[in-house]
Structure 1
Amino acid sequence: MPFAAITYDIKAGYEKEIGEIFGGFRRVGSPVVKSEGEETTRILATAVFIRDATMVRVIEYEGDLQDVARFMASQPGVQEVERKLAPYLTRPRDTGTPEGFIATFNRSLLTCLTQISARDAS
Structure 2
Amino acid sequence: MPFVAITYDIESGYEDEVAEVFSDFQRPKSAVVPDADGRQAGRILATAVFVRDSLLVRFIEFEGDLDAVARHMAAQPGVQEVERRLKPYLRSPRDTDTVEGFVRTFNNGMLRCVTQLSVPRSAG
Provide TM-score, normalisation by structure 2.
0.94
Identity %: 61
Residues 42-63 of structure 1 show CA distances to partners (whole Å, capped at 9, x for unaligned) of: 0000000000000000000010
Q: CA offsets, 1:32-75, max 9 Å, x none?
A: 01111211100000000000000000000010111110000000
* Partner residue in 2 for 1:88: 89
Bigger mean CA deviation after superposition, 100-109 or 17-26: 17-26
Equivalent positions of 1:12-51 (< 5 A) are 12-35=12-35, 36-51=37-52
Tell me the amino acid that sits aligned with residue 70 of structure 2: A
Cα RMSD over matched residues? 1.0
Q: Normalising by structure 1, what TM-score?
A: 0.95
Between the two proteins, the alignment pairs up a number of residues equal to: 120
Gaps of 5+ in 1: none
Deviation, 1:24, is 1.6
Gaps of 5+ in 2: none
The corresponding residue for 2:107 is 106
Q: Deviations over 1:7-42 (max 9, x none)?
A: 000011111111111012132111101111211100
